[in-house]
Structure 1
Amino acid sequence: MSVSAEPMSAPVREQEPSEALRPHAEDAFAEELAVLAAQDDRPRPARWKLSPWAVATYLLGGTLPDGTVITPKYVGPRRIVEVAVTTLATDRALLLLGVPGTAKTWVSEHLAAAVSGDSTLLVQGTAGTPEEAIRYGWNYAQLLAHGPSRDALVPSPVMRAMAEGMTARVEELTRIPADVQDTLITILSEKTLPIPELGQEVQAVRGFNLIATANDRDRGVNDLSSALRRRFNTVVLPLPESVEAEVDIVSRRVDQLGRSLDLPSAPDGVDEIRRVVTVFRELRDGVTSDGRTKLKSPSGTLSTAEAISVVTSGLALAAHFGDGVLRAGDVAAGILGAVVRDPASDKVVWQEYLEAVVRERDGWTDFYRACREVSA
C-alpha cells in the first residue's frame, strides 16, 4: 500500500526572515530568486522553481537580460556547479565532498533554495544521529493512546522531501553511524521509504532528490559503505586556486555577515583580509607564496571558513573598540586561535613562521608586532 504524496506542513517560523540573525538562503536572496524565475524561459524539471541554467546562474552570478545583477554565491570552477546541478536533475543523489571550509554546506543550502525554494529539509549528521532522523519517528502520546497510525507518525525531513518532490539535505554524512547511513540505500535506490508498522510506504514523487556533504580530511566517525557511495554522484569542491580568489570569497562573505551584524564594510580592511588569507594559505600549503621557504603546517585546517570567522571577529573588534577600520591588531588574536590548536606543536610552528617569514616581510611590521603581542 502506498501513501499518497500529500504536502506535509512546513516547520513554523516564529520570526520574520528580516529579523533572523542568519536568514535561510531562500529568504536572504528572495529578490534574486524571484527575478530569475520571472525571466527564466528554459525547461524546468518537475517541481523545480528554476531551470538548471538559472540555478547555475544563481550560484555563480551573472547579469540578466534586463540588467539585473545576480551576486555570486560560490566562487569556483563553473563546471563543478554545472555537474552538481545536472546531477540533481537526474535520479542520482549528490555528494559534495571536500576539506573543511570549501563551502559544502553553503553550496548545498543554495542549491536546495534555488531548486525547491526551501533549504530547511535538513538532517544534521552527528555521532548520535538516530535512524528516525532519516526515516520517521512517532508522537508517543498518540502512539500510546491510539496505536500506530498516520496521525502518530512524525515524518523526517527526508520523508517530507520524498512526499512533496523537494530537495532534502544531509550534512556531515560521514559522522552518522554506519547502520543509520545505510537507511538511505533503499531511499536512494528504490525511491521508497517503507513504514512496516502501518503496512505502507512513501514513494518519492518527481522532483525529489538528496544532497549530502562529507569531509574528506577528517573522515568523521564512519566512512561511507561502497553500497551507499554508489548511490551518489560525487562532486569534489576544491580550495580556492589563488590568493585573489580566496580574498574575494572572504570579502564577499564577510560583507554579507557584516551587514547582518551592523559592522563596517569589509573593503575598508581588504589589506588585512589579504594578510589573513596569505598566512592561512602559506601555513596550509607548507610553503611561502614565492615558493622559496618551506614551512611546517599546524594541526588545524586553516580553511576559508575559518578565515571568514577571523575577519568577522576582527571587524567586530574594530567597530566596538576601535575606529571602525580593520587593522592588524584586530585580526591577530583570531589568527593565533585558528593556528594554535595544539598548544605544544602548533605554538612552535607559529613562532617559527612569525620569526622566519612575517618578521622579514616588507610592509608587515605592524602585523608582526600585533601577532607577537598576542603570542607572548
Structure 2
Amino acid sequence: MTTDNELLRPHAEQLYAAELEALTRNDSSARPASWLLSPSAVVTYLLGGSLDDGTVITPKYIGPRRIMEVAVATLATDRALLLLGVPGTAKTWVSEHLSAAISGTSTLLVQGTAGTPEEAIRYGWNYARLIAEGPSTEALVPSPIMIAMQQGKIARLEELTRIPSDVQDALITILSEKTLPVPELGMEVQATKGFSVIATANDRDRGVNDLSSALRRRFNTVVLPLPASADEEVSIVTQRVAALGKTLELPDLPTAADEIRRVVTVFRELRSGVTEDGRAKVKTPSGTLSTAEAISVITHGIAMSAHFGDGVLRPADVAAGIAGAVIKDPSADAVVWTEYLESVVRERADWADFYRAARSALS
C-alpha cells in the first residue's frame, strides 16, 4: 500500500493532517453544521499562526487576511464561492485548502474543460446496468457535486468559465434550490447542511463561456490579487519551492535566495511594464508570468543544479527556464525578451552572469 510519503502530490488533507488535527483539538469556537473547524480556525489554517499548545501552523496563502475571511464567511452561508483572478494567483490552491479544512476532503472535484458534460455536474449512468436492469439507484453514477450534497461537504469546480454555457446552467437549481432532481427515478437529492461549491475562474478567459447573470447571482465572487510587493512574492515562491523540493527529494540550496529574488524581479518588471525603480518602461510579453510559473522556474533550476551542476543554484540554471516562461509567442515574445535583456539586464553590473546565461540560452 502506498504511503503519503511516497505520493508525488499528496492532497492537502494528507500533507497537513497533523496541523488539521491540532487545530481541531484547540478549536473551541462555534462550527457551522458538518464543518470540521470553526471559520476562525479555517482562516488560521490558511494564513498560519501559533496555537495555544505551541503547534505552529504554516501559512498556505500569503496575502490580505480580509480576502480569506470573506471567502470563509461566504461558505458559512448558503451562497457558493467563486474565486476569480489571473493565472497563478493560487485559486486552485486556496480552493483545495478551504475544502480540506472545512470538509476534511478536497477530492470532490470537477475539472472544467470545453468537453465537460452535464453528467459531470449532475449524475451519469452505468450503462451496462441501465440496459440490463433499467433505471435504478444501483445504475446511477453520482457526480462529485451530488456526493457533496449527500454528505454535506464542499465540492470544487475548476475553470468554471471553460465549461459550455448549457452545462454551467445545470448548477442553477443546485445552487438556488439546493436540490438535484433525478426524473428518471422520480426522486431528488436534497443537499444536507455543510454543502457548498467552490468554483474557480480565470479572468483572462472572459468571453470564453461567460456566466449567465442567473448563475453569477448564485456565487459570491472573491478576487485573488497578484502579490502586492516583491517581498511578498519572494516569500510565496520560497515557501512553495521548499515544499516542492521536499516532495521531489531535491537538495536544500541555501544560495537559492538570490536567484529567487532575481526571477521574481524579472517577472514583476515584465508583468507591470516598468522596471523596479520606476525609471524605465519595458514591453510586456503575451504570457501572464505568474507566481506559479516563477515557482516552476526555480524548481527546475534546482533540479538542473542538483543533477547537472555543482549543487549551487546559479544564473545559468534558471536562465533557460525564464526564457521558456517569457517566450510563449516565438516571434513577438522573443523580441520583448531580447529588448529587456539589452536595455535592463545588461545595465545591471551585478547581473552580468545572468545576462551572459540568458543570451546563451537564446542561441
Instruction: Compute the TM-score of the two structures, normalised by the length of structure 2.
Output: 0.99
Name 2:231's counterpart in structure 1. Answer: 244
Identify the match of residue 315 of structure 2 among 320, 328, 335.
328
The Cα of 1:266 is off from its aligned counterpart by 5.2
2:302 & 2:354 partners in 1: Cα distance? 16
* Aligned-residue RMSD, C-alpha: 0.9
2:280 equivalent to 1:269: no
- CA deviations 1:134-191 (Å, max 9, x no partner) are 0000001110110000000000000000000000000000000000001000000000
2:235 equivalent to 1:217: no
2:33 equivalent to 1:46: yes
Name 1:179's counterpart in structure 2. Answer: 166
Name 1:307's counterpart in structure 2. Answer: 294
2:181 equivalent to 1:202: no
- Higher mean C-alpha deviation, range 119-128 or range 259-268: 259-268
| Aligned partners of 2:300 and 2:318 also within 8 Å | yes
1:323 & 1:34 partners in 2: Cα distance? 41
2:330 equivalent to 1:348: no
SS in 2 for 1:184: helix
Give the aligned residue type for 1:143.
L
Matches within 5 A, 1:1-376: 15-219=2-206, 221-265=208-252, 267-376=254-363
| Aligned partners of 2:253 and 2:311 also within 8 Å | no
2:162 & 2:335 partners in 1: Cα distance? 31
| Aligned partners of 2:84 and 2:223 also within 8 Å | yes
2:207 & 2:254 partners in 1: Cα distance? 36
2:237 & 2:254 partners in 1: Cα distance? 10
| Aligned partners of 1:87 and 1:94 also within 8 Å | yes
1:268 & 1:51 partners in 2: Cα distance? 40
SS in 2 for 1:227: helix
> Measured at CA, do residues 139 and 341 of structure 1 come closer, stay the same or move farther in structure 2, by a change above 3 Å?
same
2:311 & 2:71 partners in 1: Cα distance? 40
1:264 & 1:108 partners in 2: Cα distance? 29
The Cα of 1:16 is off from its aligned counterpart by 2.7
1:36 & 1:266 partners in 2: Cα distance? 31
SS in 2 for 1:233: strand
| Aligned partners of 1:283 and 1:297 also within 8 Å | yes
Give the aligned residue type for 2:109.
L
1:99 & 1:197 partners in 2: Cα distance? 40
- CA deviations 1:72-131 (Å, max 9, x no partner) are 000000000000000000000000000000000000000000000000000000000000
Q: Gapped runs of 5+ residues in structure 1? A: 1-13
2:207 & 2:129 partners in 1: Cα distance? 36
2:70 & 2:324 partners in 1: Cα distance? 36
SS in 2 for 1:359: helix
The Cα of 1:323 is off from its aligned counterpart by 1.9
SS in 2 for 1:193: strand
Q: Gapped runs of 5+ residues in structure 2? A: none
2:253 & 2:210 partners in 1: Cα distance? 39
- Higher mean C-alpha deviation, range 357-366 or range 266-275: 266-275
1:96 & 1:266 partners in 2: Cα distance? 34
> Measured at CA, do residues 319 and 277 of structure 1 come closer, stay the same or move farther in structure 2, by a change above 3 Å?
same
The Cα of 1:19 is off from its aligned counterpart by 1.6
Instruction: Compute the TM-score of the two structures, normalised by the length of structure 1.
Output: 0.95
1:47 & 1:123 partners in 2: Cα distance? 21
- CA deviations 1:223-280 (Å, max 9, x no partner) are 1111100000000000000111000000100100000111122543010000000000
Query: Percent identity among equivalent residues?
Result: 74
The Cα of 1:220 is off from its aligned counterpart by 6.7
- Higher mean C-alpha deviation, range 220-229 or range 299-308: 220-229
Give the aligned residue type for 1:234.
T
| Aligned partners of 2:161 and 2:211 also within 8 Å | yes
